[in-house]
Amino acid sequence: MNIILASSFNMTEKDEDGNRHPTIITDTNCFLNTIKRLTPKHDRLVIVANDPNNFEVNDYRFDLQSKSLALSGLDFKEKILLDSRNKNDAKSIIESADLILLSGGKLECQLDFFHEIELKTLITNHPALIMGGSAGAMNLCKVAFNYPEYAHEVDPNKTEFFLPGLGFHNEILVPHLDDKTNPYLNDGFDPVAEFILPKSHGREFLAFNDDSYILIENGVTKYFGNFYRIKDGIIKQVAK
């Protein structure tokens, strides 16, 4: 079974007006070459949505991601978006896939959908490459850290930030952490300072930036890029 846990799929870029366009996937840290090597067949692509009921966003992201893969030399004969519209066919859709992408976005919403369609059972020992980006990667782990990224997502009544994931990796992941800037600074709200560091007391997180990823290939785990240990309120870069 082969899994990529990525901070970002690196499939889009913004123009000067803020509009997103598909782009060739970066090969930083051999990212694109690794995907190609582990995806020898290009018959069926399956992209599992983040919010299964947000059809407009799902279709938009599906179009961007499919085009990015094609630009990168991964043009599939059949491309399927899996969300609420076809969830009853999840088993037959996934069983013939050659590449399965688990989108980023809202962690808890996606995790509920994963459990609903019994995704863990469907992908366990699957011959396809399983690739999770951001929330998709976090939810593939044994424990998923469900922290807010924006001020409007903060729930003062929330007490449970750690949710049972699918269990394919034991580390608790924090994506999008850069070594030079903090991309989490959103309108003055800093989830690193307000949630991630405080919740690290008594726990350990593994953070990584958008050009980094974890590869689990036939049971062997390898790390590519920059990684940071967050423990007891301290962030420290580590060699992996």
**Closest among 168, 129, 158 to 39, alpha carbons compared:** 129
Confidence (pLDDT) at 153: 84
CA distance 221 to 235: 22
User: What is the DSSP-derived secondary structure letter of residue 49?
Assistant: -
- The answer to whether 123 and 131 are in contact (CB under 8 A) is no
Band (6; pLDDT cuts 50, 70, 90): very high
CA distance 121 to 106: 22
Residue 135: give its domain's CATH number.
3.40.50.880
Confidence (pLDDT) at 76: 98
- Residue whose structure tokens are 């300072």: 193
Query: What pTM, to 2 d.p., does this model score?
Result: 0.93
Q: How far is CA 158 from CA 115, 148, 155, 162, in A?
A: 21, 11, 5, 11
**Closest among 151, 196, 238, 174 to 8, alpha carbons compared:** 174
Confidence (pLDDT) at 142: 98
CB atoms closer than 10 angstroms to residue 234: 11
CA torsion angle 226 217 145 167 (round to 10): -160
pLDDT over threshold 90, residue 128: yes
pLDDT tens-digit series, residues 75-106? 999 999 999 999 999 999 999 999 999 999 99
Name the 3-class secondary structure at 54: coil
**Closest among 168, 162, 150, 53 to 100, alpha carbons compared:** 168
Which pair of tokens denotes residue 127? 């011959």
Confidence (pLDDT) at 18: 82
pLDDT over threshold 60, residue 183: no
| Number of domain units in the chain | 1
Band (151; pLDDT cuts 50, 70, 90): confident
Task: Give the β-pairing of 204-208 and 227-231.
Answer: antiparallel
Write the CB contacts of 187 (distance below 8 Å, at least 6 apart in sequence).
150, 151
Residue 196: domain span: 2-238
- The answer to whether 106 and 135 are in contact (CB under 8 A) is yes
